[in-house]
Structure 1
């Protein structure tokens, strides 16, 4: 997380200082083959409410897969570029496994605002 903070132009401890990483969860989902896609309900387009989600890549991701790489979904709390994404039924005949590692704050009652390092006066009103 220190590298993420620095990559965004903030001090390396910024995300730790704001207690954005106190709750972590790992979620594994096993998707069976779905031969009748038109008869399923999928998760609609959404962004993640937390800070950041790391996903193991495979063929379902519309990016060029890089061996050994992770897909990182930026959540709404970071407010840099929340990733709009969705989950579809499995059209492949092979099962699919998705593993997500999610970092969130422990107290959603805290007030979270955009990091001052990431905003300018014209961008501030986009979220707040």
Structure 2
């Protein structure tokens, strides 16, 4: 698996900070305001829920999640310009990363984009509310991200870990940096090579 942090990515620090604050504000608002988005129907463009894997996991995760399909063609957040601005900038960064990865693999610069690796954008905003009995919790379960690669905006609280050579390592939170996970991309076979 491959992880690295990107700085000087062209997304203003104010936009990153506003995204973190916006996700926090969404989760901390009254439950009546969030009710219209609450669902376990994965075909919806916007979903808010707690413990998305509640019925299949051995233990419940202590988190709430706002999940928004931003690309292709999501216009549901037309009133939330911050989400649109952030998603446009992340898509541009993703296209740059796909070009660099294509070149690193010895391929034409547009190869990964041409085979569809950059066609979607799913934004997920997790919120970990204070736990009344933290000594009884295990934290979030280990998982593999489902996308070709993941671009993660981490807050300053930290807590993100990666598994490398059977050892969990903390990912230091760097203000303004984005964490890139190439895990699935590195495991995926590229049948068109």
- CA contact 1:52–1:75 (8 Å) conserved in 2: yes
1:24 matches 2:132: no
CA-based RMSD: 2.7
More helix, by proportion: 2
Partner of residue 103, structure 2: 6
Q: State the Cα deviation string for residues 29-73 of structure 1 (Å, max 9, x = none).
A: 221122423434644222123201111123223123333111112
Equivalence for 2:149: 52
Cα distance in structure 1, aligned partners of 2:152 and 2:146: 15
CA distance in 2, matches of 1:66, 1:41: 25
Moved >4 Å (runs of 4+): none
Partner residue in 2 for 1:64? 172
Aligned to 1:114: 190
Alpha carbons 1:48, 1:74 under 8 Å: kept: no
Gaps of 5+ in 1: 83-111, 118-128
Structure number with higher strand proportion: 1
Higher relative contact order (CA 8 A, sep 6+): 1
Give TM-score, length-normalised by structure 1. 0.52
